[in-house]
Amino acid sequence: MEQGNNNGPREMHKATCAGCKQECEVPFKPTEGRDVFCKECFAKRR
């Protein structure tokens, strides 16, 4: 079963990874005060 809608590509937002401090793009609007991780750092934390 497919979830979500298929309205084309997701809107990406720029953020700074809390792990490696590199700029990255995430598919959600970052919330101030919450850590954001790039794909690689997020995978390491799981």
Is the residue at 8 inside a domain?
no
pTM for this entry: 0.72
Identify the band that residue 10 occupies on the pLDDT scale cut at 50, 70 and 90: confident
Is the residue at 23 inside a domain?
yes
On the 0-12 / 13-18 / 19+ scale of CB atoms within 10 A, 11 is: exposed
Give dist(CA 25, CA 14) in Å, integer. 5
Q: Could you report the per-residue pLDDT of 12-38, keeping only the tens digit for each?
A: 999 999 999 999 999 999 999 999 999
Q: What is the pLDDT of residue 13?
A: 97
Q: What is the pLDDT of residue 46?
A: 87
Which of residues 39 and 1 earns the better pLDDT score? 39
Is the residue at 2 inside a domain?
no
Q: Which domain holds residue 32?
A: 13-45
Q: What is the pLDDT of residue 2?
A: 54
Q: How many domains does the chain have?
A: 1
